[in-house]
Protein backbone atom coordinates (compact mmCIF):
# COMPACT_ATOMS: atom_id res chain seq x y z
CA UNK A 1 0.00 0.00 0.00
CA UNK A 2 1.18 3.49 -0.82
CA UNK A 3 0.10 6.37 1.39
CA UNK A 4 0.53 9.93 0.20
CA UNK A 5 1.25 12.71 2.68
CA UNK A 6 0.57 16.31 1.70
CA UNK A 7 -0.43 19.67 3.13
CA UNK A 8 -0.09 23.37 2.52
CA UNK A 9 3.22 25.16 2.96
CA UNK A 10 4.22 25.48 6.60
CA UNK A 11 1.74 22.83 7.75
CA UNK A 12 4.38 20.49 9.18
CA UNK A 13 4.58 17.75 6.56
CA UNK A 14 8.23 17.08 7.31
CA UNK A 15 7.58 16.73 11.03
CA UNK A 16 4.81 14.22 10.36
CA UNK A 17 6.93 12.31 7.83
CA UNK A 18 9.79 12.11 10.34
CA UNK A 19 7.45 10.56 12.91
CA UNK A 20 6.31 7.91 10.41
CA UNK A 21 9.96 7.22 9.53
CA UNK A 22 10.77 6.72 13.22
CA UNK A 23 8.15 3.98 13.23
CA UNK A 24 9.96 2.19 10.43
CA UNK A 25 7.87 3.34 7.48
CA UNK A 26 9.90 3.83 4.27
CA UNK A 27 9.51 7.47 3.23
CA UNK A 28 9.85 8.73 -0.35
CA UNK A 29 10.25 12.52 -0.34
CA UNK A 30 9.42 14.35 -3.58
CA UNK A 31 11.32 17.47 -2.49
CA UNK A 32 14.46 15.44 -1.78
CA UNK A 33 14.13 13.76 -5.18
CA UNK A 34 13.72 17.17 -6.83
CA UNK A 35 16.97 18.35 -5.23
CA UNK A 36 18.79 15.21 -6.38
CA UNK A 37 17.52 15.63 -9.93
CA UNK A 38 18.66 19.26 -10.04
CA UNK A 39 22.17 18.60 -8.73
CA UNK A 40 25.09 19.72 -10.94
CA UNK A 41 25.49 17.55 -14.02
CA UNK A 42 21.99 16.09 -13.97
CA UNK A 43 20.04 16.06 -17.27
CA UNK A 44 17.23 18.13 -15.74
CA UNK A 45 19.67 20.98 -15.06
CA UNK A 46 20.63 21.08 -18.73
CA UNK A 47 16.96 21.24 -19.73
CA UNK A 48 16.48 24.16 -17.34
CA UNK A 49 19.58 25.87 -18.74
CA UNK A 50 18.23 25.53 -22.29
CA UNK A 51 14.93 27.09 -21.22
CA UNK A 52 16.15 29.98 -19.04
CA UNK A 53 19.83 30.38 -19.85
CA UNK A 54 22.99 30.53 -17.76
CA UNK A 55 21.58 33.19 -15.44
CA UNK A 56 19.78 30.49 -13.42
CA UNK A 57 22.94 28.36 -13.16
CA UNK A 58 25.83 29.23 -10.83
CA UNK A 59 29.49 29.22 -11.88
CA UNK A 60 29.88 25.80 -10.23
CA UNK A 61 27.03 24.35 -12.30
CA UNK A 62 24.46 24.38 -9.51
CA UNK A 63 20.90 25.50 -10.01
CA UNK A 64 20.38 29.02 -8.66
CA UNK A 65 17.06 28.23 -7.03
CA UNK A 66 16.40 31.79 -5.85
CA UNK A 67 16.81 33.22 -9.35
CA UNK A 68 14.75 30.47 -10.91
CA UNK A 69 11.95 31.00 -8.38
CA UNK A 70 12.00 34.72 -9.17
CA UNK A 71 11.71 33.96 -12.88
CA UNK A 72 8.86 31.46 -12.74
CA UNK A 73 6.69 32.26 -9.74
CA UNK A 74 5.54 35.60 -11.14
CA UNK A 75 4.61 34.04 -14.48
CA UNK A 76 2.12 31.13 -14.53
CA UNK A 77 3.24 30.04 -18.00
CA UNK A 78 6.91 29.90 -16.98
CA UNK A 79 5.93 27.91 -13.87
CA UNK A 80 3.98 25.50 -16.05
CA UNK A 81 7.07 24.98 -18.24
CA UNK A 82 9.26 24.31 -15.19
CA UNK A 83 6.75 21.80 -13.84
CA UNK A 84 6.63 20.08 -17.26
CA UNK A 85 10.39 19.55 -16.93
CA UNK A 86 10.50 18.52 -13.27
CA UNK A 87 7.31 16.57 -12.64
CA UNK A 88 7.80 13.69 -15.13
CA UNK A 89 11.33 13.08 -13.81
CA UNK A 90 10.17 13.20 -10.19
CA UNK A 91 7.26 10.90 -10.96
CA UNK A 92 9.52 8.32 -12.61
CA UNK A 93 11.85 8.32 -9.62
CA UNK A 94 8.96 7.95 -7.15
CA UNK A 95 7.55 5.03 -9.13
CA UNK A 96 10.99 3.41 -9.28
CA UNK A 97 11.36 3.67 -5.50
CA UNK A 98 7.86 2.28 -4.95
CA UNK A 99 8.68 -0.65 -7.24
CA UNK A 100 11.94 -1.27 -5.36
CA UNK A 101 10.10 -1.34 -2.03
CA UNK A 102 7.50 -3.70 -3.48
CA UNK A 103 10.26 -6.04 -4.63
CA UNK A 104 11.83 -5.88 -1.17
CA UNK A 105 8.54 -6.91 0.44
CA UNK A 106 7.72 -3.67 2.26
CA UNK A 107 4.10 -3.76 3.52
CA UNK A 108 3.56 -0.06 2.83
CA UNK A 109 5.38 3.20 2.27
CA UNK A 110 4.79 6.92 2.57
CA UNK A 111 5.20 9.31 -0.36
CA UNK A 112 5.53 12.95 0.69
CA UNK A 113 4.45 15.37 -2.06
CA UNK A 114 3.68 19.03 -1.23
CA UNK A 115 1.52 19.44 -4.36
CA UNK A 116 0.09 15.92 -4.40
CA UNK A 117 -3.23 16.88 -6.01
CA UNK A 118 -2.02 19.86 -8.04
CA UNK A 119 0.68 17.74 -9.73
CA UNK A 120 -1.65 14.79 -10.36
CA UNK A 121 0.60 12.53 -8.28
CA UNK A 122 -2.36 11.42 -6.17
CA UNK A 123 -2.97 8.60 -8.66
CA UNK A 124 0.24 6.99 -7.35
CA UNK A 125 -1.20 6.49 -3.86
CA UNK A 126 -3.91 4.40 -2.24
CA UNK A 127 -4.56 6.58 0.81
CA UNK A 128 -4.09 10.29 1.43
CA UNK A 129 -2.94 11.91 4.67
CA UNK A 130 -3.35 15.69 4.82
CA UNK A 131 -1.55 17.79 7.43
CA UNK A 132 -3.62 20.90 8.08
CA UNK A 133 -3.27 24.16 10.01
CA UNK A 134 -5.17 27.47 9.86
CA UNK A 135 -4.09 29.83 7.08
CA UNK A 136 -2.95 32.55 9.49
CA UNK A 137 -0.66 30.06 11.21
CA UNK A 138 0.70 28.90 7.85
CA UNK A 139 1.72 32.45 7.01
CA UNK A 140 3.25 32.97 10.45
CA UNK A 141 5.32 29.78 10.19
CA UNK A 142 6.48 30.42 6.63
CA UNK A 143 7.56 33.98 7.45
CA UNK A 144 9.56 32.73 10.44
CA UNK A 145 11.06 29.70 8.68
CA UNK A 146 11.84 31.07 5.22
CA UNK A 147 12.47 34.72 6.13
CA UNK A 148 10.00 35.98 3.55
CA UNK A 149 7.37 38.68 3.83
CA UNK A 150 3.77 37.88 4.71
CA UNK A 151 2.84 39.06 1.21
CA UNK A 152 5.22 36.55 -0.38
CA UNK A 153 3.84 33.79 1.85
CA UNK A 154 0.32 34.68 0.73
CA UNK A 155 1.42 34.50 -2.92
CA UNK A 156 2.71 30.97 -2.35
CA UNK A 157 -0.54 29.96 -0.67
CA UNK A 158 -2.53 31.39 -3.58
CA UNK A 159 -0.83 28.92 -5.94
CA UNK A 160 -1.78 25.93 -3.81
CA UNK A 161 -5.08 24.10 -3.62
CA UNK A 162 -7.52 25.79 -1.22
CA UNK A 163 -7.19 24.40 2.27
CA UNK A 164 -10.83 23.24 2.45
CA UNK A 165 -10.62 21.35 -0.85
CA UNK A 166 -7.40 19.60 0.15
CA UNK A 167 -8.90 18.58 3.49
CA UNK A 168 -12.04 17.24 1.79
CA UNK A 169 -9.92 14.82 -0.25
CA UNK A 170 -8.09 13.35 2.74
CA UNK A 171 -8.56 9.84 4.06
CA UNK A 172 -6.79 10.99 7.21
CA UNK A 173 -6.72 14.63 8.32
CA UNK A 174 -4.11 15.72 10.86
CA UNK A 175 -4.63 19.00 12.71
CA UNK A 176 -1.08 20.21 13.35
CA UNK A 177 -1.88 23.59 14.86
CA UNK A 178 -0.63 22.46 18.27
CA UNK A 179 2.80 21.46 19.60
CA UNK A 180 4.83 18.52 18.27
CA UNK A 181 3.74 16.44 21.26
CA UNK A 182 0.16 16.62 19.96
CA UNK A 183 1.22 15.41 16.51
CA UNK A 184 2.80 12.20 17.73
CA UNK A 185 -0.33 10.37 18.94
CA UNK A 186 -2.21 11.24 15.74
CA UNK A 187 0.62 9.86 13.60
CA UNK A 188 0.78 6.78 15.84
CA UNK A 189 -2.93 6.11 15.33
CA UNK A 190 -2.72 6.46 11.55
CA UNK A 191 0.40 4.29 11.47
CA UNK A 192 -1.41 1.58 13.40
CA UNK A 193 -4.42 1.69 11.07
CA UNK A 194 -2.42 1.67 7.84
CA UNK A 195 -0.12 -1.08 9.09
CA UNK A 196 -3.16 -3.18 9.96
CA UNK A 197 -4.70 -2.55 6.53
CA UNK A 198 -1.45 -3.48 4.78
CA UNK A 199 -1.13 -6.62 6.89
CA UNK A 200 -4.66 -7.68 5.97
CA UNK A 201 -3.94 -7.25 2.28
CA UNK A 202 -5.81 -4.01 1.57
CA UNK A 203 -3.87 -2.35 -1.23
CA UNK A 204 -0.56 -4.14 -0.75
CA UNK A 205 2.48 -2.77 -2.55
Q: Considering the domain 1-26+107-205 in this protein, what is its CATH number?
A: 3.40.50.300
pLDDT at 108: 97
What distance in Å separates the CA atoms of residue 36 and residue 28, rounded to the nearest whole number?
A: 13
What distance in Å separates the CA atoms of residue 135 and residue 37, rounded to the nearest whole number?
A: 31
Is residue 205 pLDDT above 50, yes or no? no
- Rounded to two decimals, the pTM is 0.92
Is residue 15 pLDDT above 50, yes or no? yes
What distance in Å separates the CA atoms of residue 56 and residue 65, rounded to the nearest whole number?
A: 7
Q: Kindly give, in sequence order, each residue whose CB lies less than 8 Å from that of residue 114, ignoring residues fewer than 6 positions away.
A: 6, 7, 9, 13, 30, 31
Q: Where in the chain is the domain with CATH 3.40.50.300?
A: 1-26+107-205, 31-105
Fold of 31-105: Rossmann fold (3.40.50)
DSSP alpha helix (H) spans, the chain: 13-22, 30-37, 43-52, 65-72, 76-103, 135-146, 150-158, 163-168, 180-199
Summarised one tens digit per residue, pLDDT across range 127-160 is 999 999 999 999 999 999 988 899 988 988 988 9
Is residue 70 pLDDT above 50, yes or no? yes
Average pLDDT over residues 106-113: 97
pLDDT at 148: 87
Is residue 85 pLDDT above 90, yes or no? yes
Amino acid sequence: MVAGLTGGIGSGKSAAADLFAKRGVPVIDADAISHELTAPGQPVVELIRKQWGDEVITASGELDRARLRHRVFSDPEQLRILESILHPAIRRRIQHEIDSLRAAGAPWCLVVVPLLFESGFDDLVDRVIVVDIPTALQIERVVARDHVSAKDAQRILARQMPREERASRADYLIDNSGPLEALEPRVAAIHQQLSADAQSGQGLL
